[in-house]
Amino acid sequence: MLTDAILEDDRWQPIGLEQLSERAAVATLLHLNVAVDAHEIVVMGCNDSRIAALNQDFRDKPTATNVLSWPYEDLSSEESGGTPLLPEAEELGDIAISFETCEKEARDQGKPLTDHVTHLLVHGVLHLLGYDHIRDADATVMEQLEVEILGKLGLPDPYRGYEGPNGL
């Protein structure tokens, strides 16, 4: 398995965070032609209190957020909009994802929680692989990759609005 999911909050169990993590991570690595069996990712399913503490500790932001990631190595491109380096380390890094924030965002956006969580996990894995959204050109590249990967998983473009059974 590519991912090791640690559930600090039992509310992640019914939506299958372990399976969603593996599916999102495998799809992301395959899309980028990165060897799936050569790497590992830890995903922690937590709550708002825990992710707010992590956000404070690592980013000096004392608020809850949906997802955080800690890459094992810096693979980012120095060129705006450039392609990151390929990972050499077995460990790609760690991802934390908060149940309450994800649930609220999914509800507010009118999309199934599993779709939103899958998007955020793809987003987190892309961060581990050196993609970011600070510079405009990098954000464009990252968002396009997210749309392509989610499309391969049969999910709609998260930036265009969700049109599904609970959608807009």
Q: What is the pTM of this model?
A: 0.94
Any idea where the domains of the chain sit in the sequence? 3-152
**Whole-number Å distance between alpha carbons of 26 and 118:** 12
Which of these, 51, 89, 90, 93, lies nearest to 69 by C-alpha position?
93
Q: Token pair of 128, please?
A: 């581990």
**Whole-number Å distance between alpha carbons of 168 and 161:** 7
Residues 6 or more apart whose CB falls under 8 angstroms from that of 61 comprise 55
Residues 6 or more apart whose CB falls under 8 angstroms from that of 126 comprise 28, 142, 145, 146
**Whole-number Å distance between alpha carbons of 152 and 30:** 11
pLDDT score of 164: 52
**Whole-number Å distance between alpha carbons of 27 and 125:** 10
* Residue 116 marked as a ligand binder: no
pLDDT in tens, 49-105: 999 999 999 999 999 999 999 999 999 999 999 999 999 999 999 999 999 999 999
pLDDT at residue 161 tops 80: no
CATH number corresponding to 3-152: 3.40.390.30
**Whole-number Å distance between alpha carbons of 39 and 29:** 10
Q: Token pair of 159, please?
A: 């930036």
**Whole-number Å distance between alpha carbons of 64 and 62:** 7
Which of these, 47, 51, 46, lies nearest to 65 by C-alpha position?
51
* Residue 119 marked as a ligand binder: no
**Whole-number Å distance between alpha carbons of 62 and 82:** 31
Average pLDDT over residues 28-39: 97
